[in-house]
Each structure stands twice: as C-alpha cells, then as structure tokens.
Structure 1
C-alpha cells in the first residue's frame, strides 16, 4: 500500500503490522499540518493523488465527507465490533448523514493545569474548586501582580467558548441544521466569560506567544485551561517548571455538574478516490490495527502526546503512573476519566462563520456594549443570515 497515511508518526505500528501480515508493505509519510492539508485538498480537488489512508482533524472530516470525498466505513466498523471500545463522545466526529467516514484516533480531554507554588502561597486548594464560582472566589486570593487565568484575545475566544459550550452539552446546530449558538448553554458560557473578566482575576496575553509562556514561567498567570496534549507543550517549552504543575478537572457550572469537555482531536479516513478494493481493504486493516491496539495507542501517548479515544487503552499501568513533572500526580488517569464523560458534539461545515461571529460578539460583550443574551442572539442571527439557515 503506497502512502498508507499522511501526518502519522512514521514509526507507529508499521514494523509489527508488516511482521504479522506477510507481504504487506506500509509506507507512511509524516507531514506538517499545513503541508498535509494543502496536499490533500489538492488531491481531492483534482480527483487523483490522495494517499490510501489519511489523518484528518475533526472539522476536516465533516468537510470532506460532505463533499463525497471519503469512503463510507460504517459496515466495516460494525463488522469489527469496536463501537464500545472507543469513547462515546468521539464517534460523532467521524459521522455525516448518519454514516461513518473514518476511524477515531486521538481526542483532547480537558483539564485545568495549575502552578502548585502559586496556589499554595495564596492558600488556594485545588480540591476545593468544584464550580466556576469556586474558581473565581479562590482566584481572588492571589496577589495583585498575579492572575488566576488568561482570558484569550478575540481571535482565540471562540475556542474557549466552544470548550465551555461542549462542557454544558451545547450543540452549535440542530439535527436539521438550524443555527443554535444563542441557546441557553451559549448564554451561560457568555455570562461566565463576562463574570471572569469582571472578577478581576484575569489577564489577556496572546496564546502561544513568548509572553504567554513567560507568564506561566514567572508566575503571573496561575492556571491554564487546556487539553491533555498541552502536557507535551509544557514539558518542551517550560522544562524549568518541572514538578511545579498539577491538573484538576474543569470546574462545573453548578454543583454536581459535568466537568468534562474536549479540545482537539483527529481521525483516519480512506479517500473515496481509492477505488481498488485491495488497497481499500489493506488501508482499513492497517487503520484498524493501529487505532484499536492499546499498546500502539499508548506508545503514541507517551511519545507524541496523542491521547487515545480507545478506552481499552486506559487499562494499562501507564495511566496510574506518577508523573514527576506534576509532582507525582498520575495525570493520565484524570484525563481518561474526563475522556469517558465528554459530551458528543455536532461538528458542522459552518464552523468558520460561527467562530467569526462568536469572536465579534464576545468582544462586544467584554467591551460592555452588549449583554450575554444579546451578544449570543446577534451572533446566531449573523451566522443564520450569512449561511441562509434558520434559527433554532
């Protein structure tokens, strides 16, 4: 099989798969995100040149499936009997029109990364933070020169909004495609973002900038809400802070509420232009082997920070191992628990318009120009108008 996958780590599962399948030859090409996206889009547009198997981010799955560019693998998934082996909240990422067009790979279970020394010095107990109200109250214990959390800039706000929206089980569109970002869940998220700003515990620094990393290194920001994959970034960018980090779950919106969400993730799919049944079968067999073998998935977690959606992988001792970078905390166990409680999310082909509208209206909210209700209503009406869709 030529070019078995794009943007896959080039050593994952290939030697063992070839050893177990006499005559099979797998060639994997690892590409950067932009190169991979451009090359695959060109292949889809031209109708030729796609790999037999490709990695795709969650939102890209829907785009290409809606263009009839991916192979329907629903029957193959059912035949393999693997639906119960992958966390329920992940399956919707590979579905379009009620059918499956890919095999789930990694996901981004969320948590609150925090600086242990800052919390301890201020008398903040992470175990006492169960709700966002608790978070705001505890954050006010920090000295004036430190912030509890970074409030993202306008272009980054939609990701923060979406993480919280998913935590509440919000859906951006309804089953019949109507725009739903003015829902009760969305208004609650907007209200929380306003409350965070008004509480005085926030700072705004551009994410991924040198100033952003410096703020965590020097202790001017104490908490970072993100996903499991942030672990690798912190280790790589802030090695001198080793042993001074901890993780707890997202605070709930109300006592006893959901504390799980997702941020990021990818899948593998077979391009529809691969019509040779032999190639399709080999691509599927290799994908199934790599994505449903716990040892391989856990290797990718340890080596590349790719948190598996394969729940059977969570039984490994790895998940209970203490991590020195987190002062002995077994963070993989926490993220595994979060992963199994992630709410399914209705991915859609109008996400760019949604992001733009949310960014604009959250800016209006934070500038004091609109209420949470009005801001989200206006965002929904903007998207519905631009996309010629109904409002829910």
Structure 2
C-alpha cells in the first residue's frame, strides 16, 4: 500500500506542478500572507512534514493534529492551542509544519487513494485554491454549516472562499483585506496628504500620481511584472468576476475586465506604476524607498516594517484603494491572498475540533490580541476591531490605529464568484497584460486569446 500511495504522491505532485496551484511565485509561503518568522512557542512540539509519503497525519482521540506552513502560521496555531488548554488541559495540539504545496499534494493523494484517515484533524488551505480542492475532493472537507461556528463574525468575502452550495467548509484565518500604503513624507513633498488618497477613483489617483512623479521623481506604486494581482484586486473591488454563475470563464465581452485592464495600462503609461522583475525587486522597491507606496493584502505590512532604514518609521500611512470610475457597484475595498482552516471529514475529533475553533479562532478577541501583538497577525474576525490591541496606535504608521481600520475595511469587500480555476485565470490574464503592454497584441485580441487558453487548459 505504501508503494501505491508513494506512486500517487508523485503523480499528484506532477499534476499540481503543471496546474500551478497556490499563490503567485512572488507570494509563496510567508510572502503570500505577510508571514514572518515567529517565536518558538511549542504547545506539543513542531514536526516537519513533506509529500514523500512519510506524512505525520491521522487522527487520535484527545489530540488535534494540524498541518500548516511557515513558522508564522505554526506559532499562531500554537497560541490558539495554549489558550484552549487553559480550560482543556488534557487536549494536545500537535502542529506539523507542512509546506502549502505539500498539503495540496497530500490532500489530493489521500483523496484519490481513499485513505482519508491519513489526513490530520485540521489543515490550512490557500484561499486561492480552496474552492478548487473543495470541488474536486469534497469528501475531504467536513461540513461546518451547523457546527455553531459564528461565520457572520467574519468578513463575508473571506468566508465566501470556503462556501459551496450554501454550506460552510472552512474557518477564516488571516486577513487578506487590501490596503493602500503610502509614504507620507513623499506625499508631503508634492503637497498632498493621505486624506487626498482616501475614497478616491482611479482617475483621480492617476492625476495625483502624475503630479507626485513630476515633483518627487517617485512612481506611486510597484508591482511584479506579469503578475495580475493588482488587476484582480481592481476587479473584486467592483464586484466583477471573470467566471459566470455556472463557473465558466467569462473574459470576452466583460466590460468590467476591460475597464480594469485599461486602468492598469494607464498606470504603466503614466509612469506611476513601476514593474519589478520578481518578488525581491518588489520588496526592495518598498524598503529602499524608490516608490511612494503599494497596494496589496494587509499582510504587506510585514514587508513595509522589515526595512532597516530608520527614517521610514512614522512616515507610512494606510488607507483604502482607489475604485473604478462610475462603475456600478464599485468600491474602495478588495482582497488578496490569505488562507483558511479546514477540518478533515475523517477526523475522530470533529466535536473537539469544532469546540477548539469556537473557543479560539471563531470566538476569542483575547486570542486575536495575542497573535497581533506577538506575531503581527491581522484578523478577519470582525469583533477584534473593537479590542484594545486593535485600537492601539502604530508608531511605524504615523501613530494611527491601522489594525482596527483594516478589520473594518474587510467588512466592505464585495463578494464575487472566484471560480475553481484561479491559477489558470491568473496565468492567462498575466500573459494578456504583458502582451498588450509590449505591443504584441491589442486589448480585445489579448482577452480573446486568454479566454481560449483557459478554456483549452480546463477542457471547457
């Protein structure tokens, strides 16, 4: 049987590699969620896991085994375990550090082999692929709809990532709320304040951006070349989906998509969006002060504060993103990246796992205060916005209470149908943007080619 499973693991790895699941190459692992290394706060010791067929999984009574990636997420789950153990000292929380792509491989492998008992009680899943795995391997995920978990206490758009046919299959974890971050000192040189960039349209943003560029020589924004992350943020902010109600790709004749792509091209042509060759270049442009700011998921705060340039402290400010001009339903709010917890359908500890989540991730502002102050983890749990920790000011961000602001932004994000072919959509739209910008294709032709490519790749 082990040989059979090993063969399926390798096959699944190849399939996943070809499909290209997960966050962008720029945002893998820690970068995708703003994750930074946390402390060594063991609840039950951290194991290492991989897709070699030697996975530390399975379900044992009285022990909740958890798979998640990166020390940041491991430490956050351990903090949840420590809080839960105050009133449940006999419960063991066994956190097994497992790379995101390996979790996807192992879920696929054990689902295909029918060995669901090899899965842990709880695992973390990238928001961008949650719907795909839920669609393809529904028997893996426990139905949490009637569990008593208060899903209404989380940002609706975040919850939607793990909903299928009106039923809930995941517990939201980190905030993927989009924020716009700008250097106040650069804005001041050009005669602007953060208020001038709050609740504005992209047309107004471009006007300001041109003026700031003329006066300071600094482009307003930075992005990774060929990555359509900003484009997707613009789309969701206006409630625009590139999938129809039946889950079919819908790029051609999608007026919202064309408008969003035109905004991106206007930013490039005006010289106020600087494209970088890779994620390191993106981070460097922020930390080295060669751009005014960036628009990304709230986890980008970790990158902003990681610079060793002391003069940046106190010179950053946070606001919402621009919105599409005069587009029906357009808002200044969106989402990018993030992840969600799932309970395995095979868990012997379903009731325990549910109670654990109801007590911690879905029920304790104390817990969210702890992981914010200790790890910098920002919640999508709405009640956290009223806590003392979330209303403390950040010296780095000019003495502003940015965390309560971020949580409040999350409640305004439009919910859209993201479909199950996110990775295919992302790759095709990235190629379309590149082809239009380098002049090898016009906008309509690039969109048509992108749709044809996706339809071919997914067999529609």
Q: Distance in 1 between matches of 2:181 and 2:278?
A: 15
Matching of residue 147 in structure 1 with residue 219 in structure 2: yes
Structure 1's 207 and 330: CA in aligned 2 closer, same or farther, altered over 3 A?
farther
2:333 alignment counterpart: 260
Q: How does 1:115-154 map to 2 (within 5 A)?
A: 115-129=183-197, 130-141=200-211, 142-143=213-214, 145-154=217-226
Deviates more, 1:237-246 or 1:113-122: 237-246
Partner Cα distance (2:377, 2:111) in 1 = 26
Partner Cα separation in structure 2 for residue 337 and residue 131 of structure 1: 20
What residue ranges of structure 2 are gaps of 5+ in the alignment?
Answer: 1-61, 69-73
Matching residue of 2:406: 335
1:91 is aligned, of 148, 159, 162, to 159
Return the match for 1:368 from 427, 439, 455: 439
Deviations 1:263-291 (A, max 9, x none): 112111112333x3xx1211222122221
1:105·1:291 contact (CA, 8 Å) conserved in 2?
yes
Instruction: Check 1:360–1:29 CA distance in 2 against 1; reply closer, same or farther (3 A cut).
Output: same
**Equivalences for 1:143-222 in 2 at 5 Å?**
143=214, 145-154=217-226, 156=227, 158-182=228-252, 183-209=254-280, 211-222=281-292
Contact 2:111-2:139 within 8 A present in 1 as well: yes
Match of 2:146 in 1: 76
TM-score between both structures, scaled by the size of structure 2: 0.76
| Match status 1:6 vs 2:67 | yes
Matched, 1:349 2:420: yes
C-alpha distance in 2, partners of 1:125/1:19?
Answer: 47
Q: How far has the Cα of 1:362 moved from its partner?
A: 0.8
Deviation at 1:15, TM superposition (A): 2.5
| 8 Å CA contact retained: 2:428, 2:450 | yes
Q: Which residue of 2 is the match for residue 326 of structure 1?
A: 397
Distance between the aligned counterparts of 1:72 and 1:33, measured in 2?
20
Deviation at 1:340, TM superposition (A): 0.6
Q: How much has 1:260 moved relative to structure 2?
A: 0.2
How far did residue 54 of structure 1 move? 1.0
Cα 1:33–1:101 shift into 2, 3 Å = same
Give, in angstroms, the shift of residue 357 of structure 1. Answer: 1.1
Residue 127 of structure 2, aligned match among 54, 58, 65: 58
Quote how far apart the aligned CAs of 1:93 are. 0.7
Structure 1 residue matching 2:269: 3-state secondary structure: helix
After superposition, the CA RMSD in angstroms is: 2.4
Instruction: Quote the Cα distance in structure 1 between the aligned partners of 2:247 and 2:321.
Output: 29
CA change 1:281–1:235 in 2 (3 A) is same
Closer, same or farther in 2 for the Cα pair 1:26/1:214, shift >3 Å? closer
Q: 1:375 to 1:304 in 2, by over 3 A?
A: farther
SS in 2 for 1:60: helix
Partner of 2:97: 30
More deviation, 177-186/132-141: 177-186
Quick check: 1:93–1:345 contact (8 Å CA) kept in 2?
Answer: no
Deviation at 1:110, TM superposition (A): 0.9
Q: Identify the residue that residue 15 of structure 1 maps to in structure 2.
A: 82
- Cα shift readout 1:313-368 (whole Å, capped 9, x = no counterpart): 11112333221101112211321221010111323321221112111111111123
Q: Secondary structure at the match of 1:325?
A: coil
Q: Count residues with an aligned counterpart.
A: 381
* Partner Cα distance (2:416, 2:339) in 1: 14
Structure 1 match to 2:380: 309
Contact kept? 1:151, 1:197, Cα under 8 Å: no
SS in 1 for 2:366: helix
Q: Secondary structure at the match of 2:178?
A: strand
Aligned in 2, Cα 1:217/1:280: closer, same or farther, shift over 3 Å? Answer: closer
